[in-house]
Structure 1
Amino acid sequence: MTEETTTLTGQAPPPVRDWPALDLDGTEFDPVLAELMREGPLTRIRLPFGEGWAWLATRHDDVKLITNDPRFSRAEVTGRQVTRMAPHFKPRPGSLAFADQPDHNRLRKAVAGAFTVRAMKRLRPRAQEMLDALVEGVVRDGPPAELIERVLEPFPIALVSEVMGVPAADRERVHTWTRQIISTSGGAEAADRAKNSLYGWITDTIRSRAGGTGEDVYSLLGAAVTRGDISETEAVGLAGPLQIGGEAVTHNCGQMLCLLLTRPELRQWWHERPEARDALLDELLRFIPHRSSVGLARIALEDVDLHGHRIRAGDPVYVSYLAANRDPDVFPEPDRIDPGRAPNPHLALGNGPHYCTGAVLARLQTELLLGTLLDRLPGLRLAIPADQVEWRRRTMIRGPRTLPCTW
């Protein structure tokens, strides 16, 4: 054993810190995460559910390394009850989130055609038409309007359902199930019921499209099963998280809209520099705390030395994209929203093989939602004081629960 290795293994591991599930208002950065970032690039955490402790990486470079390194496995997590945020953990075969290479590419290929830049360009006119109908209803009824209920929630759900191929008659019950799945309020039993209902419906839908030639996701999956590229079980596991994806757009856009409506300098930038809106959207994506705590763990497949600590084979490891997006070595003055920040290598949509499958769709929805609302409703503003906006509680995805606005 070399002297360097002796030094590495001889360093005492950081203490295990409890990280409770905090209900935070507005876009406040999680104070526990901020403290962990100050303690070091690599700390140890214990979350509300599961067993034991896990490593946590918070620096931008380390997050990129771990999420792109085959020595850290998502597949290995499925057989463990590692410390975690969610009360329920029953991963399904076929889920991209828990696939390692080469299975990950094989599974992702089955649905990739529905989420390309070209596919999104084709979808854009239809998406704008769907959004315009919602906004026209708001304009017709006049102010005030509750924009989460009227626009920010129905639009992403409807558009995801359009991409997935959910029949109009089934969309409301599918949305009811997805909402319960991402909530922690009903506990494991309620989430299990919702999951069973959703995945049962998905199974029937994929079977009904066996050999189909459509371009929607369920038709692509039905065709892939028929060809033998993936199993039916894998197809169902693939579809579930994609179907749930619309929820994140709703709440991310809710946070962004809150910031644009309460910070005049951001609103001025938006209206006066339309050619630079993409840069502002990237900065808002970097800044907003889009989730509570952390997402899914990885398991080290072999010993890995990092920052003087040895992550042992079998140790669970989390990364924090939220922390990486506030790394002062990468983002000067990270707690300030800088609309012209460049470069802006944020990790809001993930990194590595598990980069968000629906990233191009999410970006399309965000651009359309913010652009249409701010351009179509002159003088749009909150109808109540900012500190009276209600924020979601006991949920893994942060955002305003309601957003009453006038114009």
Structure 2
Amino acid sequence: MTTRAEPPRAYPFAFREAEVSPNYAELRREQPVAWVKLPYGEPGWLVTRYADVRTVMTDPRFSRAIAQGLDQPRMRAENMNDGIMGMDPPDHSRLRSLVAKAFTARRVEKLRANVQRLADRLSDDMQAQGPPSDLVEHFARPLPVSVICELLGVPYEDYPMFSRWTEAFTNEQSAMAEVMTTIGPEMDRYMSRLIAQRRERPTDDLLGALVRARDEGDKLTETELIDFTGAGLLTAGTETVSAGLPSMIFVLSRRPEALALLREEPDVMPGAVEELLRFTPINTAAMFPRYPLEDVELSGVTVRAGEPVLPSIAAANRDPEVFDRPDELDLRRARNPHLTFGHGPHHCVGAQLARIELQVALRTLLDRFPRLRLADGVRWRFGVVVRGPATMPVTW
């Protein structure tokens, strides 16, 4: 059993490509609540069992709001404002309810045709250019960025700028404070101009609706509006797909039988995407620590009030107490309560949109490029938020 008297383990653990570190399995067995130290901030407790991770994410005794202003465990030198991810109910509920109206299952399903149109256009461009093509640059990154930009009503000519911002917020260089002090204000200024345009010429897009909520209902502050529509939606709305899709292609390329199943039986795609979300690690490390408001026991360890707790989704998604044969990719897996999109109050509001994007993207790539395969030169990035291929040359 770990105690605070022991030196904290260095975290995140070393890993390779799309693999989950074996340290997580060891900790689940031997030290399910382990004292660790991230590159920046104070040490904290890393929890690796599924039940404990769910508890930390859902139990109101654990707070995100009190982390703001503390030296919380983190991957980035700058201790940034976490926006909506740094709130507790009722403030969190107030903001979440505003954007949730744009992401209901029915409304999101209507976006499937738009996602398909964008995927087709990107596939056409790849085919016209010819192989080899970088799947990250020419498909995986522009697809989700374009979807979010369309939702917000961003002018088409500004899409590349949003793509650059997304990369800057999540890559290795953004661990340095000077990068964030440049990109953050640049994005805020742009969103302020876009918001001002909506006030002059109201629109029916998501940004227009949020501006009306701000001006007519006073349901969010101007700062919340800028933070939420900029870094909040941009990073949360793109990285699961832009990092996850090429990682999933990599995983499938190592398993020809799984790839053949997806090609031969298209109906398995929704369940297959859920399994790929469970199996394929996307985050570099556990993040967004929760702080207990009182002493809480987790797997026999008493976590004292005010001690940060880091819930590991990657570890929880491989817990054998919940998943049969957790280290195997089973595209027909029947029961799959994975935590990739979080759980409880901070469950990803755009989860259904990400699912649709991944389903459409994989189906389109397999249909349009029946002989799609990796070429030489795949290069991986392990950024402050996500991990995945930085470049992925493919041929067909």
In the other structure, the counterpart of 2:261 is 269
Is the counterpart of residue 89 in structure 1 residue 63 in structure 2?
Answer: no
The answer for the alignment partner of 1:3 in structure 2 is none
Partner of 1:6: none
Instruction: Identify the match of residue 226 of structure 1 among 215, 220, 226.
Output: 215
Deviates more, 1:226-235 or 1:301-310: 301-310
In structure 2, give the amino acid aligned to 1:305.
Answer: E
Whether 1:75 and 2:57 are equivalent positions in the alignment is no
Q: Residue 30 of structure 1: CA displacement?
A: 2.2
| Contact in 2 for aligned 1:164/1:243 (Cα 8 Å) | no
Normalising by the residue count of structure 1, what TM-score does the alignment of the two structures yield? Answer: 0.91
Please show how residues 270-309 of structure 1 align to structure 2 within 5 Å: 270-309=262-301
8 A contact 2:251–2:280 mirrored in 1: no
CA separation of 1:14/1:164 partners in 2, compared to 1, >3 Å: closer, same or farther?
A: farther
Once residues 2 and 194 of structure 2 are traced to their aligned partners in structure 1, the CA distance between those partners, rounded to angstroms, is 54
Q: Which amino acid aligns with 1:38?
A: R
Q: Which residue of 1 aligns with 2:392?
A: 403
Is 1:178 aligned to 2:166, yes or no?
yes
For 1:402, give the aligned amino acid: T
1:232 positional shift: 0.8
Query: 2:119 and 2:210 mapped to 1: Cα distance?
Result: 27
1:336 counterpart residue number: 328
Equivalent position amino acid for 1:391 in 2? W
Q: How far 1:23 sits from its partner (Å)? A: 6.2
Cross-structure match for 2:51: 61
Residues 1:234 and 1:212: Cα distance change in structure 2 (over 3 Å): farther
Provide the secondary structure at the position in 1 that maps to 2:66: helix
Residue equivalent to 2:234: 243
Give the Cα–Cα distance (whole angstroms) in 2 for the partners of residues 108 and 16 of structure 1.
Answer: 39
For residues 268-299 of structure 1, the C-alpha deviation after alignment (integer angstroms, 9 at most, x for no partner) is: 11122222221211111101111111121011
Determine if contact 1:72/1:300 at 8 Å carries over to the other structure: yes
Unaligned runs of 5+ in 1: 1-9
Deviates more, 1:123-132 or 1:286-295: 123-132
Distance 1:181 1:301 in 2: 30
* Residues 261, 380 of structure 1: 8 Å contact kept: no
Amino acid paired to 1:17: P
C-alpha distance 363-12 of structure 1, shift in aligned 2 (>3 A): closer
Report whether the alignment pairs 1:30 with 2:18.
Answer: no
1:163 paired to 2:151: yes
Task: Check whether the contact 2:68–2:86 (CA below 8 A) recurs between aligned residues.
Answer: yes
> 333, 337, 356: which is aligned to 1:345?
337
Kindly indicate whether residue 305 of structure 2 is the aligned counterpart of residue 313 of structure 1. Answer: yes
Closer/same/farther in 2, CA of residues 11 and 129 from structure 1, 3 Å limit: closer
Aligned to 2:368: 376
Partner deviation per Cα, 1:46-81 (whole Å, 9 max, x = no partner): 111012x21121111111111111110000000201
Please give the secondary structure, in 2, of the residue aligned with 1:56: strand
CA contact under 8 A between 2:172 and 2:381: conserved in structure 1?
no
Unaligned runs of 5+ in 2: none
TM-score by length of 2: 0.93
Deviation at 1:165, TM superposition (A): 1.7
Taking the aligned partners of 2:16 and 2:301, their CA distance within structure 1 comes to 35
**Percent identity between the aligned chains?**
38
Aligned counterpart, 1:199: 188
In the other structure, the counterpart of 1:190 is 179
Say if 1:42 and 1:58, in contact at 8 Å, map to a contact too: yes
Structure 1 residue 356 corresponds to structure 2 residue 363: no
